[in-house]
Amino acid sequence: MAESRVVLHFPKHLLDQPVTSTTVERFNLHFNILRADITQDQEGLMVLGLVGEPENIEGAIEFMREQGVRVQPLEQDVVRDDDRCTHCGACVVVCPTDALAMDPDSRQVSFDADKCVACGICVPVCPPRAMSIHF
């Protein structure tokens, strides 16, 4: 079993189609919706954790692409500007998944994109504004 976090962009014509449930059913996957929105340009946006056999996850991503869904890995979307981050640590208590954590020895704040669920809480909390989300 593996978990893969992906950002799905649904074009307008797919908004009323059950693409996600068809996909998880067909590829025998579990899923966890981390975030779902309709954006201002009427595109559907979903951040999804897919759990299952690695080849099934790959197949599911391929299948959704064929349906017209734009799919990209989550870690490409939440970005820390390492030149901007001062490693103060203001973010670590607001991060719900410990993706941002202070190393007690090095005193550096680490950012683990695999743990990040793209909630975005850190973005306005970061004093020098080092965090950004690009969906």
Partner 1 sequence: MAKTYDEINERIRRGEVVVVTAEQMVDVVDELGASGAAEKVDVVTTGTFGPMCSSGAFLNFGHSTPRIKVSKAWLNEVPAYAGLAAVDLYIGAAEVAEGDPLNRTHPGSFNYGGGHVIEDLVAGRDVRLRARAYGTDCYPRRELDTWLNIEDLNEAFMCNPRNAYQNYNVAVNTSADRDIYTYMGVVKRDLGSANYCSAGQLSPLLNDPHYRTIGVGTPVFIGGARGRVFWQGTQHDPTTPRNERGVPTGGGGTLATVGDLKQMDPRFVVGVSMLGYGVSLALGIGTAIPILDEEMAAFTGVSDADIVAPIVDYSRDYGHNEGEPLGHVSYVELKRGQVRIEGKAVPTASLSSYVRAREIAETLKSWVEAGEFLLNEPVQALPSAEESEGFRMLNYRPAAPEGDE
Interface positions with partner 1 (CB under 8 A): 86-94, 102, 104, 106-108, 124-125, 127-129
Task: Indicate if the alpha-carbon torsion angle 70, 73, 74, 79 is positive or negative.
Answer: negative
Q: How many CA atoms lie within 13 A of 9 on its CB side?
A: 14
C-beta closer to partner 1: residue 34 or 122: 122
CB 100 within 8 A of CB 91: yes
Retrieve residue 2's tokens.
């593996």
C-beta closer to partner 1: residue 71 or 119: 119
Q: Minimal distance in Å, beta carbon 129 to partner 1?
A: 6
Q: Minimal distance in Å, beta carbon 104 to partner 1?
A: 6
C-beta closer to partner 1: residue 45 or 88: 88
Q: Minimal distance in Å, beta carbon 99 to partner 1?
A: 14
End-to-end CA distance of the chain: 27
